[in-house]
A = this chain, B = another copy of it.
Amino acid sequence: MATVGAATAVVQTSGDGDAASAASASASATTTTSPATSPSADALEQVAPGLARYQREDLEEGLWARPGLAARDRHLVTLAHLVGSGQTQHLTTYLEDALDAGLTPAEVSETVTHLAFYSGWENAASAVGPLQEVFAARGVSAQDLPAASPDLLPLDQAAEAARAEQVQSTYGEVSQGVVDSTGEVLFRDLWLRPDLAPRDRSLVTVTALVSSGQVQQIPFHLGRAMDNGLTEAEVGETMHQLAFYAGWPKVFSAMPTVGEVLAARR
């Protein structure tokens, strides 16, 4: 997990696939911090001993070890929150940890692409540098990544027609440009790209909504997420993950609406 500290970070960012050099880096890393990539447990201890304890007891041994949401999904949620809110200071460490936990380079790449639309273009663009660094260190190449124009997943024509009509009637009088791009770029293209499963794309989207306080947009996307396979238990633990990473207030503000969506589907 991303909070595991300097040792992991140093090993991973030095990684060139050479096991010997990685082992050597690991040996020295145990006594070195890497402030450029992450506040290590040592750094936390030095300035905020309470925070260091919470990180160890309530994050590393607590939240991240809980059932209800797979570690790989916790990484997806955490990464989506960080990229979507432009928090890049320790992003290489979080990216390394996410890849170690089983997210593929293609999934991470698509997550950033998806967030360009759901969290703003420049937040995605600001993740490109860290992504380059991490992919280069791991030897990720073009064939590991999604194509620019892959074969798209099939479109659910009925659901898309209903969505399009709702958006047209709500927003058409304000901005036909937004309405058109919503259909053409988002729902008839982005959402159909195959390298991030619709369920994961929904999880990323719901995370972006909670993380940016956009509660009004939750009902549509949470419903879609559950249609795409997200379970109630996973929704609950996603909120728990976000309480720690996006902060309690945003989760408390979102949970009544989340609760209404869950209740309506029971």
Q: Does A217 contact B (CB under 8 A)?
A: yes
Q: Does A128 contact B (CB under 8 A)?
A: yes
Q: Does A229 contact B (CB under 8 A)?
A: no
A252 lies within 8 A of B171 (CB): yes
A5 CB, min distance to chain B CBs, angstroms: 11
Q: Which of B120, B128, B175 is A48 in contact with, Cβ under 8 Å? A: B128
A3: which B residues are within 8 A, CB to CB?
121, 125
CA distance A135 to B212 in the complex (A): 32
A203: which B residues are within 8 A, CB to CB?
none
Q: Does A145 contact B (CB under 8 A)?
A: yes
So how many copies of this chain end up in the complex?
Answer: 3
CA distance A124 to B235 in the complex (A): 25
A-B contact pairs, 22 of them (CB 8 A): A43-B129, A50-B113, A50-B190, A50-B193, A54-B185, A58-B181, A63-B181, A90-B126, A118-B248, A118-B249, A120-B250, A121-B244, A171-B252, A173-B262, A174-B259, A175-B237, A177-B239, A178-B236, A178-B240, A213-B214, A216-B253, A217-B249
A128 CB, min distance to chain B CBs, angstroms: 4
Q: Does A89 contact B (CB under 8 A)?
A: yes
Q: Does A17 contact B (CB under 8 A)?
A: no
Q: Does A15 contact B (CB under 8 A)?
A: no
Q: Which of B44, B112, B135, B255 is A171 in contact with, Cβ under 8 Å? A: B255
Tell me the A5-52 residues at the B interface (CB within 8 Å).
35, 38-39, 43-52
Q: Does A246 contact B (CB under 8 A)?
A: yes
CA distance A139 to B87 in the complex (A): 29
Known A-B contacts A87-B86, A121-B59, A247-B119; A175 and B112 likewise in contact (beta carbons under 8 Å): no
A249: which B residues are within 8 A, CB to CB?
118, 208-209, 212, 214, 217
Q: Which residue of B lies closest to A88 (CB)?
A: B89
A208: which B residues are within 8 A, CB to CB?
247, 249
Tell me the A229-247 residues at the B interface (CB within 8 Å).
235-237, 239-240, 243-247
B171 lies within 8 A of A48 (CB): no
Known A-B contacts A173-B263, A255-B174; A240 and B181 likewise in contact (beta carbons under 8 Å): yes
Q: Which residue of B lies closest to A56 (CB)?
A: B148
A243: which B residues are within 8 A, CB to CB?
117, 178, 181-182
